[in-house]
Amino acid sequence: MTEMVYGTVPVRAGEPVLPRWWRTIDKWSLTGVMVLFGIGLLLGLAASVPLAEKNGLEPFYYVTRQAVFGAAAMVAMLVASMMSPDMARRLGVLGFLAAFAALALLPVFGTDFGKGAVRWYSLGFGSFQPSEFLKPGFVILTAWLMAASQEIGGPPGRLYSFALAIVIVFFLALQPDFGQACLVLFAWGVMYFVAGAPFVLLTVIAGLVVAGGIFAYDASEHFARRIDGFLAADIDPRTQIGYATNAIQEGGIFGVGVGEGTVKWSLPDAHTDFIIAVAAEEYGLVLVLFILALYAVITARSLFRLMSERDPFIRLAGTGLACTFGVQALINMGVAVRLLPAKGMTLPFVSYGGSSVIASGIAMGMLLAFTRMRPQGRIEDYIIKRGR
């Protein structure tokens, strides 16, 4: 009965690493990620060519770089997916410490590349965005703290993780990057809820977040401008939202045809934040729904497999990674159709960006590691262990 409920798998003595990995991995999610990356390269062939010509580069300069970044991301994902949960936890915590140090030093050594937000380090041959790598590390560390707080005599991990989240949000707000700040708070809230937080407390925290948003609206012209643009009755057709909305409308169900779209010539971020507008215009609603389905399948399957997991750390970390992955995709597409204010957030594995795709590969690799089917032992053994 225990095996039926908790999905245990038999241990095969002496089984090689690769066959065991292939037998226990979530093949649907793994395939879905690779298909998303393939779609990103396909859309990049159309979306990035105008920008390359504008910058005096080879027509497929950005596509080639994305292929290199993506190859590194796929390797990182596969390697991370083979890790044990303990190894993933150790590397996640170390990665968080490095990314947090880089985030804290951004005001001193960072650059904005003329975009008004200091989010990157210039490396000469490219750039590095610490917040992308901070998110998976933050999820891992928060899950570890919350899981430790459930042990008898454990530390107040929930309080520590909340304080950590507030510190991170503060540094992100300095850039400013309110989109990533919201994503960090969302990840913490989801894990806190799964860890057993009372709904009333979550409601109070949500109220504090709203109050923080009001304060940011009054204190930040950048934030206020985006909110005002979102709430305006009419869309300025010369803005990025205006171009994206028009492209989605023009695409219809089946699109205007491969290479026939025009939005890529108007949107400076067509290959990053608004790549879904390129997909909608050239390939229509059909491709957009297919992309939505891929994100939904990966997120839902991961959460479903985590339901059978008894280890609190694995359950919390996997839930945080899966929900962050799905919500980031929803935010990106929600901005393009004006359901959400503009946030400058990439579409995982589809948008162009070295930091984004490599960090997404690491995060997805850890999620695949946590959702692998593994022997869980007898439930009474686990209860006795927890009681010691």
Is the model's pLDDT at 383 over the cut of 70? no
Select the highest-mean-pLDDT range: 8-12, 99-103, 155-159, 352-356: 99-103
The whole-model pTM stands at: 0.89
Is the model's pLDDT at 301 over the cut of 80? yes
Distance CA 211, CA 143 (A): 26
Is the model's pLDDT at 11 over the cut of 70? no
Confidence of residue 345 (pLDDT cuts 50, 70, 90): confident
Distance CA 300, CA 294 (A): 10
Residues 6+ away with beta carbon under 8 Å from 366: 80, 81, 83, 88, 92, 136, 140, 317, 321
Percent of the chain with pLDDT over 90: 46
Which of 23-32, 250-259, 312-321 shows the lowest mean pLDDT across its residues?
A: 250-259
The pLDDT assigned to 376 comes to: 60
Pick the closest to residue 50 from 264, 293, 287, 260 (CA basis): 264
The pLDDT assigned to 377 comes to: 47
Q: What are the residues facing 121 on neighbouring strands?
A: 128
- Domain residue spans of the chain: 2-9+16-203+234-379
Select the highest-mean-pLDDT range: 123-127, 310-314, 341-345: 310-314
> From residue 341, how far is each of 64, 170, 238 by CA, in Å?
31, 20, 16
Tokens describing residue 167: 């510190």
Distance CA 194, CA 316 (A): 7
Q: Is the dihedral of CA 259, 264, 269, 273 positive or negative?
A: negative
Tokens describing residue 143: 């899950």
Confidence of residue 3 (pLDDT cuts 50, 70, 90): very low
The pLDDT assigned to 379 comes to: 42
> From residue 122, how far is each of 12, 130, 241 by CA, in Å?
49, 12, 28
Is the model's pLDDT at 137 over the cut of 90? yes
Is the model's pLDDT at 2 over the cut of 80? no
Distance CA 141, CA 122 (A): 27
**Exposed/middle/buried for residue 339 (C-beta within 10 Å: 0-12, 13-18, 19+):** exposed
Q: pLDDT, tens digit, for every residue of 80-133?
A: 999 999 999 999 999 999 999 999 999 888 888 777 778 888 887 778 899 999
What mean pLDDT comes out for the span 383-387? 53
Element housing 128 (H / E):
strand 127-128
The pLDDT assigned to 177 comes to: 84
SS3 255: coil
Q: pLDDT, tens digit, for every residue of 217-247?
A: 777 776 777 777 667 666 666 677 778 888 8
Average pLDDT of the chain? 85
User: Which residue did the predictor score with more confidence, 215 or 78?
Assistant: 78
Amino acid in position 376: Q
SS3 376: coil
What mean pLDDT comes out for the span 40-61? 86
Q: pLDDT, tens digit, for every residue of 147-160?
A: 999 888 888 989 89
Distance CA 121, CA 130 (A): 8
* Torsion angles phi and psi, residue 279, rounded to 5: -60, -45
What mean pLDDT comes out for the span 333-349? 85
The pLDDT assigned to 163 comes to: 93
- Do 84 and 135 contact (CB within 8 A), yes or no? no
Tokens describing residue 176: 């400013």
Confidence of residue 388 (pLDDT cuts 50, 70, 90): low
